[in-house]
Amino acid sequence: MSAERTQGGSSAGSARAIDGGRFGRGAEPPSERKHEFSVVGRPLPKIDAWTKVTGETKYADDLVLPRMAHGKLLRSPHGHALIKRIDAARARALPGVYAAVTGADLPRVKFGILPVSQDEEVLCTEKVRMVGDAVAAVAAVDEETAERACRLIDVEYEPLPALMSIEESLAHPEIRIHEYGDGPNVHKSVALQFGDVEAAFAKADLVREDVFYYEGNTHLPMEQHAAVAHAGPDGKLTLWSSTQTPHYVHRVLAKALDMPAAHVRVVATPVGGGFGGKTDPFAHEIVACHLSRLTGRPVKIALTREEVFYAHRGRHPVLMWLKTGFTRQGDITGCHIKTWLDGGAYGSYGVASTFYTGVINPVTYKMPVYKFEGARVFTNKPPCGPKRGHGTPQPRFALEVQIDKAAEQLGLDPADMRRRIAAEPFTKTANHLTVTTTGLVECIDRVVEASGWRAKWRGWRFRAPASPAQPVLGEASEGAPEGGARRSEAPSEKKRGVGLACSAYLTGAGTAIYWNDMPHSGVLLRADRSGAVTILCGATDIGQGSDSILAYLPAEVLGIAPKDVHVHPADTSLTPVDLGSYSSRVTLMCGMAAIQAAERLKTVIAKAVAGKLEVGPGELVFRDGKVGAPEEWDKAVTFARAVELAEAMHGVLAFPGSYAPPKRAGKYKGGGVGPSPCYSYTACVVELTVDEETGEVELHDVWIAHDVGRALNPLLVEGQTEGSVYMGIGEALMEGQVFRKGVHKQPSMLDYKSPTTLEMPEVHTILVETDDPEGPFGAKEAGQGPLLPVPPAIANAIYHAVGVRCDEVPIAPEMILKGLERRRQGKAARVGPEKIPVFKFKEPLVVESAFGQPAEAIAVRPFQS
Amino acid sequence: MKTRISLTVNGETHEVLVPVHKTLLEVLREDLGLTGTKHGCELGECGTCTVLADGEPVLSCLALPVELAGCEITTVEGMARGGRLHPLQQAFAELGAAQCGYCTPGILLTAQALLADRPTPTRQEVKAALAGNLCRCTGYTKILDAVELAALRMTGGSRVGDRR
């Protein structure tokens, strides 16, 4: 066990940040309040830990209802084809089949998660755009019969050429995957400019241009998606589903089934892993509902593992061109990035994904001038969407590897360089995002110290270079070139290296996916005469522990034990809306709503108890399950008694809590993507060995320091950090989706490689607390940001070990061998993409850079009072 | 065609009438209602559906009940005894080794088989034993810690009050 935490609020981030009125919730600094916490900061088991270790947790596929039928979808075997004819008559005739439907039987509406990309059909009617597109469905007595019936459905296809890459899709405008978008096969094209990048490059001492490629990969949650629908005889519909976004599924069901939303109920069952893979509404959810309406029976559809690979919505493959200017001291003068995303066959979250490849980049380091051009291209592959880090790990990889290259050319220690250029707290970025607290400097210092970076980095450092520079794409780079001769020869073929990288990530998207002025998260909190408190909230626990957070925070406010709080999550008929478990928004947004509701209850209880004890309400404290005045604690009443007093005075004790993020969207078109209440920061050092004989990489240790604002439960934050490191390792070294003629080459857990216990290094987690004024008790996100620095830290460590620059992930052993071979031939030891597509971005929207402007310490939020 | 099969699961003997090709995973979940056993691939690739047959880990998605007549099968529902959690379950809960919890039953049972064999395994031995069980949430760190903690407690090691 190697986790440790920074104590107190005196971290570098908050120390620099302290100014007069920055503490939003109390007059005294939280560092002085901290010792008073009874729940916050303690490594408690999750409230659902007990049911999970006993197998009692009911996931969607564990649900069985009387008379339940089993549904199956017939899916396209073609990557791109017209549907000429489809006939389910033979399937309907099969004994044991209750219903067989095609798209013609469903309302003719298209759906999709984003209002701007309503491009999916529940069951395709005229055209399929990928292998795995659903064209028909069956409900039958059991899964086997349903599967047999699917094979009896006759479909006649007229195959069209399948476009399988960004280059192919752009090169063939005559073949159109969709009829909408920003150009032939271009789903979305974005161009934003903040300040004059050319002027910024002109005053730089070093300008680097590099091209990077980040292969797509998938979430691979252990639980396959499953849904159970029940259309009742009263004309109302209930869907239980393994979804991260019950609220969005609710909206889509109403639309796709042409039903009043008021008659639809969506319950998110405990999710067996999501990582973004269960944030879209899916065809199988809608079909299950439709089949239930038709048959008058509950219908379950559980996807197979292969189907999950095609349902996908995972990491976009992204090709990136990155040009950055640096001063001799390492400061960034300006940065220009172009990204091309391979979006797959449908929109999904793609518009947001496209923005995210650009807009979060200026949050980590001081970047005074910034230009971003991005394009998402349709291909005939499963659609990509949000996976842990949503659109940001790709450019983060590019940026962090490029900084490593620049540091080498400038003769700087990459840790020192990053430390120097770390973003300043309470300032705005070039693209008008507000940075509140940042613990990045402390994170860097902590991993540098814990890993022994200085000695290792200097001692093992690859000595560049004797061979000539091989700049990428013709633009001459200044300073020392990359690649070249080996450092002092070590006796073995196994070379050790260390690499460092950093990142920042949002704590919840500042805007909803559909524009509205309502809360992003809400709770209802009621107190019971038994002394129990019940909280209802639309949040979905996907393993991250949101149910537990919903217990901890009211318990902290009310001085009771988490066990005294009953949590009822994610049921659209019972719980106030929470937008869903995505964008690392849940702890902050639900947490703030929960605190607000608990404070409202506390106020009412305090008034009643104050009357009884004849003291002022302000004198009362709530702790250890009691309410009383500290000076006369022997007279304190139990919490249950306090509830009785309050209920007698006020009637039923039930209070809402609402949260919406501060309205900080930049005043320009596209300014709605990127703002967040606050950003987490992470620094990571990786130590590894590269076998020059085989190209194999062995990871030894990962030190990761994460600025989480405050660890509400350090156990959970460590878990999120370790899990992020794990997933980053998979993406860096083995996880990649490969398709051939429309077909996934490895749609199984054996062929799609992911790290096992044997590939996992020791992970040393360091939690840094900056006590952010926007977060509940100062907390920021933990579930996504720590993934981001891992792939570039690995790539940088590989370079440090053997002098091979891998500008592409996943880094396969053969790539390293190729790099070593290139070096032997006297060429630059770089492997990665060589060219960028021929593509003209639209004219950029030019906006003044807001870089360095002071940002308000405490933002005004809707629903605050 | 259905066959009558007698299966002993968690100390109780059940008679079930099932098609011979129905897997142990399906019989446990669908016929016996023991949904604690999960499935991740149904192809024997992920370890999620692991149960114990006479103490040995078995992938229930590949096992046929007809082959297991006379075996003692243990599922996650059989780990706790008399309302007391198995030390592995206790340690997994305390250390946060179950995030989404979906792979947890299979990992718990694989670890139980390991500790029956090697009561004080090294970390490397724990890693090797669990290498066939995929987990996407935890990065395995807390799982390895929890197995070690349970092993310590089961061999009379002092209860580790402060896990740090």
- The enclosing H or E element of A14 equals helix A12-17
Q: Is residue B164 part of a domain?
A: no
Higher pLDDT, A834 or A859: A834
List the alpha helices (DSSP H) in A734-771.
none
Indicate the residue of B89, B100, B142 with minimum beta-carbon distance to A542.
B100
pLDDT digit string, tens, across residues A101-151: 999 999 999 999 999 999 999 999 999 999 999 999 999 999 999 999 999
CA A506 to chain centre: 9
A423 CB within 8 Å of a chain B CB: no
**CA-based nearest residue to B31, from B62, B65, B57, B76:** B65
Contact (CB<8Å) B137/A273: yes
The number of domains in chain B is 2
- Give the list of residues 6+ apart from residue B156 with CB closer than 8 angstroms, or none: none
Is residue B49 less than 8 Å (CB to CB) from chain A? no
User: Does any domain span residue B162?
Assistant: no
Which residue does chain A place closest to B78, by CA atoms?
A54
CB distance from A56 to chain B under 8 Å?
Answer: yes
Given B45, B78, B111, the domain boundary residue is: B78
CA A545/CA A717 separation, integer angstroms: 10
> Which residues numbered 351-390 in A keep a CB inside 8 Å of some CB on B?
none
What residues in B contact A43, CB-CB < 8 Å?
Answer: 96, 163
Nearest residue on chain A to B128, alpha-carbon basis: A758
Residues of A in contact with B37 (CB under 8 A): 55
Q: What is the mean pLDDT of chain A?
A: 93
Which residue among A1, A49, A749 places its CB closest to the CB of B164? A1
Q: For chain A, give the number of residues.
A: 865
A115, burial (CB in 10 Å: exposed 0-12, middle 13-18, buried 19+): exposed
Residues 292-321 of A with CB under 8 A from B: 304-305
The pair of structure tokens assigned to A427 is 């300032």
Alpha-carbon distance A200 to A197, whole Å?
A: 5
Residue A227's pLDDT band (cuts 50, 70, 90): very high
Q: How many Å separate Cα A280 from the centre of its chain?
A: 13
Separation between Cα atoms, residue A226 and residue A255, nearest integer Å: 21
Instruction: Round to whole Å and give the CA distance between A548 and A711.
Output: 13
Retrieve residue B90's tokens.
Answer: 């206790």
CA-nearest residue to B140 within chain A is: A757
Smallest Cα distance from B146 to chain A, Å: 10
Question: Dihedral through CA A554, CA A555, CA A560, CA A566, nearest 10?
Answer: 80
Fold for A60-160+222-273+278-311, please state it.
Aldehyde Oxidoreductase; domain 3 (3.90.1170)
B128 has a chain A CB within 8 A of its CB? yes
Pick left, alpha or beta for residue A695 (phi over 0 → left; psi -120 to 50 → alpha; otherwise beta). Answer: left
Flag whether B161 is in a domain: no
| Residue A719 to residue B96, Cβ atoms within 8 A | yes
Burial tier of A324 (Cβ tally within 10 Å: 0-12, 13-18, 19+): buried
Whether A60-160+222-273+278-311 shares its CATH topology with A518-659 is answered: no
- Is A282 strand, coil or helix? coil
Say which CATH class A318-509+667-847 falls into.
alpha beta
B162 → chain A, closest CA residue = A43
Task: Please check whether residue B160 lies inside any domain of the structure.
Answer: no
In chain A, where the domains are located = 60-160+222-273+278-311, 318-509+667-847, 518-659
Give dist(CA B155, CA A666) in Å, integer. 60
Instruction: Report the distance separating Cα A560 and Cα A545, nearest Å.
Output: 19
Q: B89: which chain A residues are within 8 Å (Cβ-Cβ)?
A: 53-54
Give A335-389 pLDDT, tens digit per residue. 999 999 999 999 999 999 999 999 999 999 999 999 999 999 999 999 999 999 9
Q: Which residue from A269, A184, A182 is spatially nearest to A229, judged by alpha carbons?
A: A269
Closest C-alpha to A340, from A168, A506, A132: A168
pLDDT at site A464:
52
Write the pLDDT tens digit of every residue in A233-242: 999 999 999 9
Instruction: Specify whether the CB–CB gap between A344 and A312 falls below 8 A.
Output: yes
Reduce the DSSP state of residue A782 to 3 states and report it.
coil
Question: What is the percentage of chain A residues whose pLDDT exceeds 90?
Answer: 90
B-chain residues within 8 Å CB-CB of A715? 95-96, 142
**Residues of the domain holding B31:** 2-78
Matching residue, tokens 């370790």: A722
Pick from A463, A460, A465: which is nearest to A494 by CA?
Answer: A460
**B119 CB neighbour count, 10 Å cutoff:** 12
Cα–Cα distances in angstroms (integers) from residue B101 to residues A58, A63, B150, in the given order: 10, 16, 18
Write out pLDDT tens, residues B80-105.
998 899 999 999 999 999 999 999 99
Determine contact, residues B45/B80, Cβ cutoff 8 Å.
Answer: no
Do A718 and B127 make contact, defined as CB atoms within 8 angstroms?
Answer: no
Among A224, A715, A756, beta carbon nearest to B96:
A715
> Which residues of chain B does A756 touch, with a Cβ-Cβ cutoff of 8 Å?
130-132, 134, 140
Range in A352-356, A466-470, A678-682 with the lowest mean pLDDT = A466-470
pLDDT of A864: 87
pLDDT tens sequence across A736-760: 999 988 899 999 999 999 999 999 9
DSSP state of B151: H
* Beta carbons of A55 and B36 less than 8 Å apart: yes
> How far B92 CA lies from chain A's nearest CA (Å)?
7
**B46: nearest Cα among B145, B148, B143, B130:** B130
The answer to whether B43 contacts chain A (CB < 8 Å) is yes
pLDDT category of residue A665 using cuts at 50, 70 and 90: confident
Q: Does domain A518-659 have CATH number 3.30.200.20?
A: no
CB A405 within 8 A of CB A824: no
Cα–Cα distance for residue pair A543/B98, rounded to 1 Å: 8
B163 contacts A1? CB cut-off 8 A: yes
Give the pLDDT of residue A25: 34
| A732 and chain B in contact, CB less than 8 A | no
Query: Which CATH number belongs to the domain containing residue B111 in this structure?
Result: 1.10.150.120
For chain B positions 97-126, those within 8 Å of chain A (CB to CB) are 98-105, 108, 126
- Mean predicted lDDT score pLDDT of chain B: 94
pLDDT at A222: 98
B23 is written with which tokens?
A: 């897997």
Structure tokens that stand for B56 in this block: 């040995």
Instruction: For residue A334, list its beta bridge partners.
Output: A325
Number of neighbouring beta carbons within 10 Å of residue A607: 16
What sections of A452-545 are H helices per DSSP?
Answer: 453-459
Q: Which of B39, B130, B139 sits opposite A722 (nearest CB)?
A: B139
Unique residue bearing structure tokens 């008379």: A67
CB pairs under 8 A between A and B: 178
B62 and B101 together in one domain: no
The answer, for A756 touching chain B at a CB cutoff of 8 Å, is yes
Report the candidate in A730, A734, A708 with the shortest Cα–Cα distance to residue A790.
A730
| Least Cα separation, residue B164 to chain A (angstroms) | 6
Q: Is A69 helix (H, G, I), strand (E, B) or coil?
A: strand
B93, A52: Cβ pair inside 8 Å? yes
- What lies within 8 Å, CB to CB, of B117 at 6+ separation is none
Q: List phi, psi (to 5°) of A255.
A: -70, -50
> Does B65 lie in the same domain as B6?
yes
Query: CB–CB of A367/A335 below 8 Å?
Result: yes
Tokens standing for residue A412: 């700087």
CB contact B21 to A (< 8 Å): no
SS3 of A683-697: EEEEEEEEECCCCCE
Tokens of B21: 């090709």
How far is residue A831's CA from residue B86's CA, in Å, rounded to a whole number?
Answer: 50
Render pLDDT for A412-439 as a digit per residue (tens, 0 to 9).
Answer: 999 999 999 999 999 999 999 999 999 9
- Which pLDDT band, with edges at 50, 70 and 90, does A664 fall under? confident
d(CA B79, CA A55): 10
Q: Helix A639-650 and helix A586-613: axis angle, to 10°?
A: 80
Task: Tell me how many degrees the CA angle A407-A411-A416 measures, rounded to the nearest 5.
Answer: 60
In which element (H, E) is residue B93 found?
Answer: helix B87-95
Give me the mean pLDDT over the B20-45 stretch. Answer: 97
d(CA B133, CA B135): 7
Q: How far away is chain A from the Cα of B99, in angstroms, using its nearest Cα?
A: 4
Residue A481: predicted pLDDT? 38
Q: With an 8 Å Cβ cutoff, are B99 and A305 in contact? A: no
Contacts with B92 from chain A: Cβ below 8 Å: 49, 53
CB-CB: which of A52, A716, A749 is closest to B101?
A52
The CATH number of the domain holding residue B8 is 3.10.20.30
What's the Rg (C-alpha) of chain B? 16
Of B39, B80, B145, the CB nearest to A54: B80
Strand B2-9 with B12-19, pairing? antiparallel
**Is B71's Cβ below 8 Å from some Cβ in A?**
no
Angle at A754 between CA A751 and CA A755, to 5 degrees: 135
Of B42, B92, B136, the CB nearest to A53: B92
Residue of B nearest to A274 (CA): B100
Nearest to B127 among A48, A53, A757 (CB): A757
Contacts of A416 (CB under 8 A, 6+ apart): A330
Of the residues B78, B102, B120, the one at which a domain ends:
B78
Residue B59, in any domain of the structure:
yes
Same domain, B120 and B148: yes
Asked if B142 and A719 come within 8 Å (Cβ–Cβ), the reply is yes
H or E segment and range at residue A321: strand A318-326
Final residue in a domain of this structure, among B23, B57, B78: B78
In this predicted structure, what is the pLDDT of residue A462? 63
Look at residue B64 and tell me if it is in a domain: yes
Residue A706 phi/psi, 5-degree rounding, is -125, 125
Please check whether residue B68 lies inside any domain of the structure: yes
User: Any idea what DSSP says for residue A511?
Assistant: S
Residue A474, pLDDT > 80, answer: no
Q: Which residue has the higher pLDDT, A254 or A467?
A: A254
Nearest to B100 among A4, A222, A762 (CB): A222
Look at residue A301 and tell me whether its pLDDT is greater than 80: yes
- In angstroms, the separation between the Cα of residue B46 and the nearest Cα of chain A is 6
Instruction: Indicate whether B31 and B96 sit together in one domain.
Output: no
Tell me the ipTM for this assembly.
0.96
Structure tokens at A57: 């947790």
User: On the CB side of A212, how many CA atoms lie within 13 Å of its CA?
Assistant: 33
List A211's β-bridge partners, or say none: A321
Residues of A in contact with B124 (CB under 8 A): none
Would an 8 Å CB–CB cutoff place B20 in contact with chain A? Answer: no
Is residue B127 situated within a structural domain? yes
For the segment A689-734, what is each residue's pLDDT rounded down to a tens digit? 999 999 999 999 999 999 999 999 999 999 999 999 999 999 999 9
User: Hey, what are A516's tokens?
Assistant: 């509205």
B145 and B101, same structural domain?
yes
Residue type, A336: H
B69 interface with A at CB cutoff 8 Å = no
B102 vs A223: CB contact, 8 Å cut-off? Answer: yes
CA distance to partner chain B, nearest, from residue A442 (Å): 22
- C-alpha A252/C-alpha A246 separation (Å) is 10
